[in-house]
Amino acid sequence: MTRQRRVILEEIRRFDGHPTADEVYEAVRKRLPRISMSTIYRDLEALCEWGKIQVLEVGCSKKHFDADTNNHYHARCIRCGRVTNLPVQPFTYLEQAFRDLCDYKVIGHRLELIGLCPDCLKQQKEKQRQAATEPVEADKKG
């Protein structure tokens, strides 16, 4: 357990929500300015293998990292990509139900809620209010 890995783990634990690799990088860089992105990726992988963190493969493109390795569900903001926990125990009965319905060997399941996070919801309402007040520019056609 090197200095870098310790700091990475601490920053993931401290993070509000579940950071992506570059969010981890930005946070860690404040304490270890010379750390490189490849170290971030390599150490994230190592921490996963040691069971210290888990990867959240929510949505596509970017991976998120979570210091809580217990199974739990997440909500994902469709606008900013933020990922937060859902305060419920996973429904394990779902897996048993699906075992009878498909020919896969079931290992686990993932459930994610798609929506707008409070911040983005606020911004969206703000925009709608502005749109209702201002003259309608979009209707000008020529």
Residues near its own copies, by CB under 8 A: 55, 57, 59-63, 75, 77-78, 84, 86-88, 94-95, 97-98, 101-118, 121
Indicate the residue among 35 and 76 with the shorter CB distance to its own copies.
76
Q: What is the Cα–Cα distance from 12 to 21, expressed in whole angstroms?
A: 10
Specify the pairing of strand 83-85 against strand 74-77: antiparallel
Q: Using CB under 7 A, which of 13, 14, 42, 129 touches DNA?
A: 42
Residue 114 interacting entry, from DNA, its own copies, none, C-beta within 5 to 8 Å by type: its own copies
The letter for the amino acid at 54 is Q
Please identify, among the stretches 35-43, 67-75, 89-97, 99-107, the one whose residues bind DNA according to the rule CB under 7 A.
35-43
Residue 104 interacting entry, from DNA, its own copies, none, C-beta within 5 to 8 Å by type: its own copies
Give the DSSP letter of residue 78. T
Q: How far is the CB of 7 from its own copies (least distance, A)?
A: 25
User: Is residue 78 part of the contact set for DNA (CB under 7 A)?
Assistant: no
Give the DSSP letter of residue 70. S
| 73: CB partners within 8 A, 6+ apart | 85, 86, 88, 90, 110, 111, 112, 113
